Structure 1
Amino acid sequence: MPASQYASAIIETALAAEQPILRFGTFTLKSGRSSPYFFNFGLFNTGALLLALASAFADAILDAYPDLGTAAAAPDTPRVLFGPAYKGIPLVAAIAAELARRGRDVGYSYNRKEKKDHGEGGSIVGAPLQGQRVLIVDDVITAGTAIREAHKIVEAEGGKTAGIVEALDREERGHAQLSTVQEVEHELGVKVTSVVKMRDIVAWLKDQGRDSECKAMEEYRAQWGVN
C-alpha cells in the first residue's frame, strides 16, 4: 500500500533538510535494538520545517476526525489539543494555528513542568481541559511513559482523552506481541493516529527504487514488527 500524501511529504522534507532528520544506516535504540533508520523530530527546528510538520499533523488529524473544529462536530470529536511539555508545546501551538488557517478553530493547551503558585496559578496553560474531549499530541510513542503521564494530566484536570496523534509509529513490538502503540490503545481505550508509520517509509523507499535501504527496513520489520 503506498504511503499517504502527507506521510510522503514529511519523509521527503525530513530527508531534504540541512541536518538530515531521517537517516538510514545502523542506529542503536534505547531498547538496545539495532535499527536501520532514525527519525529525529527535534530537528524540525526552523519555521519552515515546523510549518511542514504542523501541516502533515493537520492532514492526519483531519483524516481521523473530519468534523474537528466545525459547528457540526460530533459529541465524541476532540475539542482541545494538548501538548505535553516540553516538546509538545511548540508542536501543539503550530498545529492549532495550521488548523485555524484551514478554518478549523480548536483550543490548545500544555502543561508546566512545575506548578505555578502565583498569578493565575495552576499547571495548565491555554485552553481549559475541564469537561473537554482532548486530543494528545506527541512526536513518537517509545515506551508509552510520556503518553500515559499526559493522559493522567488530562484526567486530573477534568478532561477526557479522546485520542492521541503522534508523528511516527515505528510499528514494532513492545514488551510482548503488541506494539507500544497497540498497548496504549488497549490500556487507555483510545485511537492513536500517526502521521508516518514504518510501512510508509518502506513504501516510499520502494517507490524511489532505494532497494538496499528498503531491504534493511523490511528485514528489521520481519524481526521486530507487528501487523
Structure 2
Amino acid sequence: MNRRELAADIDAACRLSGVFTLRSGLTSEEYFDKYLFESDPKLLNRVAEAMVSLLPPGTDLVGGLELGGVPLATVVSQLTGFPALFVRKQAKEYGTRRVAEGVIDIGGRRVTLIEDVITTGGAVRQAALSLRAQGAHVTSVVCAIDRSDGSSSALADVGLAVHPVLTRTDLDAVHQR
C-alpha cells in the first residue's frame, strides 16, 4: 500500500469545509465524511486492506462500531477470515436485546475494534467497556482516520491501543489548498 497515495485519495474524496458539530460536541471547520470512501468499493477495499496489516496478533474477532465501522469490519472479515461482530451504540430494546450482533459468545475472545474516524474516542471507549462487560478481551482499535490532536492516545485511559491507517497529519500533508 502506498500510504501517501491513499491519504491523497481519501482527502480528495472526503474532506469537507464548513462548520460541523462532531459526535464529541466539538465544532470543526473541516469534516472527514467517511461515508464518501465507505460507499466507494475501491476506496473501501484499499482502506480495509491497510487495516488488515494493523490487526494485532491473536485477534479472534473484528468488531465494527455502528454505523461507520460496520462496512470496514465486513470487508476486513472477508479479507482475513476473522468473524465480524457488529457493535451497537446501545443494546436494542427488542429482539435479541444485544449490544453486539454476529458472534453470540464473545467471552474470553480477543476482539479488535474497527472504527472509521476517531477524534476523542468516545464511541470506541463505550464499545470496549460494553464488550469487556461480556467477557471479551478488548485492547486494540484499528481506525481508518485518527483525527485526534496526536498528543497522546485518546483511549490510553481505558487500556486501548489505537492503530490508524491514516492520521490527521497524513491527510494535511497531502491536502490541496
Q: TM-score range by the shorter chain?
A: 0.7 to 0.9
CA apart distance, 1:157: 1.9
* TM-score of the aligned structures, taking structure 1 as reference length: 0.63
CA apart distance, 1:134: 0.9
* TM-score of the aligned structures, taking structure 2 as reference length: 0.78
Alignment of 1:178-217 (within 5 A): 178-179=151-152, 182-184=153-155, 186-205=156-175, 210=176, 213=177
Q: 2:110 aligns with which of 111, 126, 133?
A: 133
Q: Which runs of 4+ in 1 moved over 6 A?
A: none
Give me the whole-angstrom Cα distance separating, in 1, the residues matched to 2:9 and 2:59.
29
Alignment of 1:1-227 (within 5 A): 5-6=2-3, 8-13=5-10, 15=12, 20-23=13-16, 25=17, 27-30=19-22, 31-33=26-28, 35=29, 37-44=30-37, 46=39, 49-62=40-53, 64-65=54-55, 74=57, 77-97=58-78, 99=79, 104-112=80-88, 113-115=90-92, 118=95, 121-123=96-98, 124-127=100-103, 128-172=105-149, 178-179=151-152, 182-184=153-155, 186-205=156-175, 210=176, 213=177
Cα-Cα RMSD: 2.7
Give me the whole-angstrom Cα distance separating, in 1, the residues matched to 2:119 and 2:138.
19
Q: Which runs of 5+ in 1 are unaligned?
A: 69-73, 214-227
Give me the whole-angstrom Cα distance separating, in 1, the residues matched to 2:20 and 2:65.
26
Change (3 A) 1:200 1:163: same
Give me the whole-angstrom Cα distance separating, in 1, the residues matched to 2:131 and 2:94.
20
Structure whose alpha-carbon radius of gyration is higher: 1
CA apart distance, 1:42: 2.1
The letter of the residue matching 1:80 is L
- Structure with more of its chain in helix, by fraction: 1
Paired residues of 1:170 and 1:198 also in contact (CA < 8 A): yes
Question: What is the aligned residue count?
Answer: 171
CA apart distance, 1:59: 1.6
